[in-house]
Amino acid sequence: MIAVAAAGPRILLRRLREIMAEPASAQARLDKLVKVIAANMVAEVCSIYLRRAGNVYELFATEGLNRAAVHNTRLKQGEGLVGLAGETAEPVNLSDAPTHPRFSYRPETAEDPYRSFLGVPIVRGGQVYGVLTVQNRTPRLYDEEEVEALQTVAMVLAEVVAQGGLFDTAELDEPELRVDRPRAFRGEPLSEGVAIGCVVLHEPRVRVERLIADDPHAELARLDKALDRLRAAVDEMLASTELDLTGESREVIEAYRLFAQDQGWRQKLRDAVRTGLTAEAAVERVQDELRIRIARTGDTVLRERLHDFEDLARRLQRHLDGGAALQRQLPNDSVVVARAMGPAELLDYPRDRLIGLVLEEVAPTSHVAIVARAMNVALVGNVEGIADNARAGDLIVVDGETGEAQLRPPAEVIRAFETRRSLREQRVAQMVEVRDLPAVTKDGVHIRLMMNAGLLIDLPHLKESGADGIGLFRTELQFMVGETMPRLADQIDFYRRVIEGAGDKPVVFRTLDLGGDKILPYGRWEREENPALGWRALRIALDRPALLRYQVRALLTASAARTLRLLLPMVSDVAEFNLARALIDREIERARVLQQPQPKRTLVGAMLEVPALMFMLPQILRSADFVSIGSNDLLQFIFAVDRTNARVSRRYDALNPAALTVIRQIIHSAAEAGGEVSLCGEIAGRPLEAMALVGLGLRILSMQPANIGPIKMMIRSIDLREVGEFVERLCGRNDHSLRIRLAAFAAERGVVLK
């Protein structure tokens, strides 16, 4: 028998549900609500304050205080005990309220006789919508169960208010929190495209109808079962990885398991269910509280822990949902809205139904942005507050070129976006016309335009874009989409399909570049203080050689009788490259001895992403067959800015003289050593940046397929000698950015920059 305490809140919640269902006016329902809450909590006073524009808490309903004060008493954020609960987003529980320094006496309320006070915030998605209070004459502290019960009621109220279910939002004039009004947001344009579709919340909220449990005993059992399943799934997930788990990584995995078993978390969830919430609502409430508490501490270690709990909470919701279906179901024309997202999570969504993505936090060269571009999904990033304002199913329009995102737009805005969408479609169609034209400058220099890829679904773009080949195949993406590590046979099959899909065109396979912001959903990695500088890419491969060896084995087999091009990520020094190359050679030798199929030639290149390697170019080019500049990482290290940190990632421009000088130096030293050098970072796909790059001497660029057309048009419109001389002069300047000068040059010379 499961012990379920506190029947009080459950009865209260049931009454709440009944009141919500009644066909009365908003005010009548609120009045009834406070009466019922007061009676249930044996309180002489119960009041609801809701937040109005300008951060003012207005008394909307009361039982016990003077009714004339309703809609008259207003408290500013931080003013009085109500303002205090709103400001801190935490319960304020006092046995003798009038003696508290923040007590603010309002004669119109006639609250003189009441000494004990409990105020809890009405919170939803980290936002405070109002404050719910109870008061009594006798001085006493409310006990834990009472606080818990009032918080549960407040949660339900928040959801109801936010979704417009209890209160006719039209009655709130100028309300900042009105949920159904159109809202225009502006963020950073990160992936082109105009999307007109429906909101899907990445972290879906529990619908009001599903907040209150019918049978708390059964609900508790359901929660326990889901928690057990979650724990078992975590165990299984960890056991099934083919990573060789020893020492440190084993400890990390144990830590994750501990999170899943965290008694405090479990207890909080169970307590919330005991108050009458459904298990789903309990998970949401506990997360909301945790989020607010941790955000306020500003503690980075705790923030990292929050990520763990958010991850676990999402998994738990899926278990409650009856199955751990990772592939998400989406309606057609979906636009996913989220606070933040990792690349693996984005890859969980079916590509054919997802047309847009709006994120509150994301940096331009973070992998989720790169994946969005590869998926051809319009992305607007750094849109403050959208996750709490959007409701599932809302109409939304997104423009990945201007950075606009509008929720619940009026008809004329939709029409304007439709026009933009068709203009864009026309532009895309124009690109098809240049597809088969050569990428040759006006003075006859041919530039090789390659595309970046990572999944099978990218392959048709090779033909559509007219790319000369795949200059960067990010193999880790395939590892990130599955729920388990792909086995050798799966890898062989996958690479074979890529190679066959590419036909005669070359494919450069980059070996696994994990770590940093690319985390496998099934593996568990140690949280590092500075993941970009941490255990990633080639460093993992050298410490866990089995991973690299299996991958190389699969690639060798799949490339039978062809040329295999391998690219090693994050090479920091020559010795490291040589070690990896020796591992590759061992695999080649193994294939020879076992008489297994193998390529006729294997070329191994190094990614130039770590500045130290710039000073070793002549030496590395003795061991490496080619070098590819990974400007996303290289520039983050050159400028010391975290590419995933939206706050700083735009601080320095890739068209800063230092950046251009660095690239010029690499090109010169590679030329002296007689080696091939290309560039495959995001800047290769931006016309102005690419103009500067070819001016500096680069002849091979690899980019998102959608950028091939515009870059080709730029190439065909320049005189390379002229550009070269101009860029050379710019390198000596000390501007923060050379963008304006380059743009003026391009405009003067009629360079096509689309």
Instruction: Give, in order, the Cα–Cα distances in Å from 183 to each of 60, 87, 204, 380, 391.
Output: 25, 24, 19, 15, 12
Q: Is 599 a residue that touches Mg ion (CB under 5 A)?
A: no
Q: What angle do CA 146, 148, 151 make, to 5 degrees?
A: 110
Query: In this chain, which of 360, 513, 587, 642 binds ligand PEP, going by CB under 6 A?
Result: 513
To Mg ion, the closest distance from the beta carbon of 689 in angstroms equals 17
In the complex with ligand PEP, the residue whose CB is nearer, 48 or 370, is 370
Q: Is 631 a residue that touches ligand PEP (CB under 6 A)?
A: yes
Is 446 marked active-site? no
Q: Is 517 a residue that touches Mg ion (CB under 5 A)?
A: no
In the complex with ligand PEP, the residue whose CB is nearer, 345 or 513, is 513
Site for ligand PEP in 226-285 (CB under 6 A): none
Q: Is 476 a residue that touches Mg ion (CB under 5 A)?
A: no
Residues 6+ away with beta carbon under 8 Å from 657: 730, 731, 732, 733, 734, 735, 738
Q: Do the strands 378-381 and 395-399 form a parallel or antiparallel pair, or are they unpaired?
A: unpaired
Phi then psi for residue 549, to 5 deg, are -65, -45
Is 461 marked active-site? no
To Mg ion, the closest distance from the beta carbon of 495 in angstroms equals 20
Residues 439-465 as b/e (b if ≥16 CB within 10 A, e otherwise) read bebeeebebbbbbbbbbeebbebbebb
Q: Among Mg ion, ligand PEP, none, what does residue 604 contact (CB within 5–8 Å per kind)?
A: none
| Residue 328: half-sphere exposure toward Cβ, Cα within 13 Å | 26
* Cβ–Cβ < 8 Å for 212, 16: yes
To ligand PEP, the closest distance from the beta carbon of 567 in angstroms equals 10
* Cβ–Cβ < 8 Å for 344, 316: no
What SS3 class is residue 570?
coil
To Mg ion, the closest distance from the beta carbon of 513 in angstroms equals 6
- CA dist 681 and 538 (Å) reads 18
Residues 6+ away with beta carbon under 8 Å from 517: 342, 343, 366, 367, 368, 531, 644
- CA dist 499 and 469 (Å) reads 11
Interface region with ligand PEP, contact rule CB under 6 A, candidates 21-29, 293-301, 337-345, 629-637: 629-637
Query: In this chain, which of 630, 675, 685, 697 binds ligand PEP, going by CB under 6 A?
Result: 630
Site for ligand PEP in 452-491 (CB under 6 A): 472, 474
Q: Among ligand PEP, Mg ion, none, what does residue 631 contact (CB within 5–8 Å per kind)?
A: ligand PEP
Number of residues located near ligand PEP, criterion CB under 6 A: 11
Number of residues located near Mg ion, criterion CB under 5 A: 2
Instruction: Name the one residue in this structure whose structure tokens are 């708390």.
Output: 216
To Mg ion, the closest distance from the beta carbon of 380 in angstroms equals 24
- CA dist 378 and 368 (Å) reads 12
- CA dist 716 and 440 (Å) reads 5
Interface region with ligand PEP, contact rule CB under 6 A, candidates 237-245, 343-351, 494-502, 626-634: 626-634
Interface region with ligand PEP, contact rule CB under 6 A, candidates 147-155, 479-487, 631-639, 719-727: 631-639
To Mg ion, the closest distance from the beta carbon of 263 in angstroms equals 40
Q: Among Mg ion, ligand PEP, none, what does residue 223 contact (CB within 5–8 Å per kind)?
A: none
- CA dist 611 and 10 (Å) reads 62
Binding mask 618-637 for Mg ion (x = CB under 5 A): ------------x--x----
Binding site for Mg ion (CB under 5 A): 630, 633
Please identify every residue annotated as catalytic. 367, 680
Binding site for ligand PEP (CB under 6 A): 370, 472, 474, 513, 609, 630-633, 680-681
